[in-house]
């Protein structure tokens, strides 16, 4: 990217994506200042990068380009920055291959990895990156046919010309209101995945989700709806154990669609992945085989053990109420539910009805304990725990053989943990400490 040569670039935040962006820009001749208000370990020198650590961010006005990490809020740079490109924008400009981009409030990582499996099984050199773990810029230079990028609202708000060949919108429900300020602003950030598409591009939209369906009106590419509940003419839908792909070339294609992952929402995720892989050029039969072989991701409805006839399931990634609802809905046996953490300014009241139907008792932990207890009301037995380890022990004392102890927090983790992964590992360790069969 010649446009970076000799430019002064300010990279804000030195997590995984920030470090990747700093290296990328420096390797292309930019004069990079990489800043973090904390003290991350950056003992390894990076040629062309000056580190500014443990103090306020430099003034964005002194730089040609600001590259903020997703966790850095816009008020830290927006007012004075001349130009802002996140790592997704940089990757779009550098990658010379089609991009399949996936966004949504819930299910992004699972669908992204399912698409990767589907395309790989179809013979494509495909790799997933972005919010799913590997930084998008680390794909630049790899021998690939297609890149699959999970893109969050934080990443989308720092795009300018980002144009995926296939854009997937799974669902849009309230989340991250503590960052965006309102649901409308959050929805607008999600809508940026469609903003630059053209006539040759595809927008896969979940027609079962009202807000996602509303975004379809903004799409400039070919809109392909998908539905888990009924026919979606011109798109994809589930019919029993089969997926139906309505193509322009003739009669609809019907394919058995299997997934090892529990819950109706994962059937919908598999459908979205199949439709996306097909839009990217994959043979549907081979794509479906790749999805069937996909084993799932950690911390997402992950079975971690069985003790005294009680199963323990880790869905630490359920960091908002709508994700927790999906987790509760996926379990058919009585549940001892562990929930709580740091709230995001979201309404928990929608959880009450499903909880009354499926939950034997709830063990609440963290800053949101009182808010959750008030939302659940008096019809459900609730208990408070100081730590997640204590919550697991108490849940075990309440559970009966055949029950499921489900960690589906409906909250962020940062009151007691670094992130949802650390919380999930803590849950796993606490379950293993109970004995029994571990997984």
Alpha-carbon distance of 228 to 35, in angstroms, equals: 45
Q: Is 106 a catalytic residue?
A: no
Catalytic residue, from 171, 176, 266, 278: name it.
Answer: 176
Tokens of 260: 């090892």
Nearest to 433, CA basis, from 388, 401, 399, 400: 388
Q: Name the catalytic one among 131, 171, 314, 320.
A: 131
CA atoms of 76 and 338, how far apart (whole Å):
35
| Chain-centroid distance, C-alpha 304 | 21
**Degrees (nearest 5) of the Cα angle 24, 28, 33?**
65
219 and 205 Cβ atoms separated by less than 8 Å: yes
Q: Are 321 and 341 in contact (CB under 8 A)?
A: no
Question: Residue 374: which residues within 8 A CB-CB, separation 6 or more?
Answer: none
CA distance 296 to 110: 7
DSSP 8-state class, residue 299: T
CA 429 to each of CA 71, 305, 350, 439: distance values in angstroms, whole numbers, following the listed order: 28, 10, 30, 11
- Both tokens of 248, joined, read 């322009």
Q: Is the dihedral of CA 292, 298, 300, 301 positive or negative?
A: positive
- SS3 (DSSP) at 363: strand
Task: Identify the active-site residue in 7, 80, 106, 108.
Answer: 108
Rounded Cα gap, residues 106 and 24, in angstroms: 30
Dihedral angle sign, alpha carbons of residues 103, 109, 110, 114 = positive
In Å, how far from its chain's centre is CA 173? 13
Encoded tokens for 299: 């911390």
Please, are residues 86 and 70 in contact by the beta-carbon 8 Å criterion?
Answer: yes
Centroid of chain to Cα 14: 20
Rounded CA separation 76/56 (Å): 10
- DSSP classification of residue 366: S
Q: Within 10 A of 266 (CB to CB), how many other CB atoms are there?
A: 22
For 228, the 3-state DSSP assignment is: coil
Q: In what order do the strands lie in the sheet with 404-407?
A: 382-385, 359-365, 335-339, 404-407, 310-314, 302-307, 437-438
Active site residue 131: yes
Catalytic positions are 108, 131, 176
């Amino acid at each position: 990217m010649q446009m970076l040569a000799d430019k002064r670039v300010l990279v804000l935040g030195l997590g995984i994506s920030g470090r990747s962006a700093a290296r990328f820009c420096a390797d292309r001749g930019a004069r990079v200042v990489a800043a973090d208000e904390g003290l991350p370990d950056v003992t390894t020198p990076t040629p062309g990068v000056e580190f500014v650590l443990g103090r306020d961010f430099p003034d964005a006005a002194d730089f040609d380009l600001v590259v903020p990490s997703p966790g850095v809020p816009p008020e830290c740079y927006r007012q004075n920055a001349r130009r802002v490109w996140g790592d997704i924008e940089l990757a779009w400009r550098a990658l010379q291959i089609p991009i399949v981009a996936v966004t949504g409030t819930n299910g992004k990582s699972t669908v992204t990895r399912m698409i990767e499996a589907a395309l790989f099984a179809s013979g494509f050199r495909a790799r997933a990156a972005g919010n799913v773990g590997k930084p998008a810029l680390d794909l630049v230079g790899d021998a690939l046919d297609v890149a699959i990028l999970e893109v969050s609202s934080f990443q989308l708000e720092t795009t300018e010309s980002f144009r995926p060949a296939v854009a997937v919108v799974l669902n849009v429900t309230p989340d991250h209101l503590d960052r965006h300020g309102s649901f409308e602003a959050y929805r607008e950030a999600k809508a940026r995945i469609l903003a630059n598409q053209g006539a040759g591009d595809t927008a896969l939209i979940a027609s079962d989700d009202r807000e996602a369906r509303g975004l379809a009106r903004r799409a400039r590419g070919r809109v392909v709806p998908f539905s888990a509940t009924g026919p979606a003419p011109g798109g994809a839908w589930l019919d029993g154990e089969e997926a139906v792909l309505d193509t322009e070339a003739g009669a609809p294609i019907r394919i058995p669609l299997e997934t090892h992952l529990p819950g109706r929402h994962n059937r919908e995720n598999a459908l979205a992945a199949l439709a996306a892989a097909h839009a990217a050029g994959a043979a549907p039969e081979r794509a479906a085989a790749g999805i069937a072989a996909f084993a799932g991701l950690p911390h997402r409805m992950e079975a971690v053990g069985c003790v005294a006839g009680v199963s323990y399931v880790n869905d630490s990634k359920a960091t908002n109420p709508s994700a927790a609802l999906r987790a509760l809905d996926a379990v058919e046996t009585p549940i001892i539910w562990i929930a709580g953490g740091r709230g995001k300014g979201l309404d928990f009241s929608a959880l009450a009805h499903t909880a009354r139907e499926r939950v034997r008792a709830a063990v609440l932990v963290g800053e949101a304990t009182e808010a959750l207890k008030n939302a659940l009301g008096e019809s459900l037995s609730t208990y408070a725990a100081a730590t997640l380890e204590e919550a697991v022990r108490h849940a075990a004392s309440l559970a009966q053989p055949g029950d499921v102890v489900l960690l589906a927090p409906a909250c962020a983790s940062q009151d007691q943990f670094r992130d949802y992964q650390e919380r999930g590992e803590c849950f796993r360790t606490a379950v293993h400490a109970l004995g029994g069969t571990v997984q």
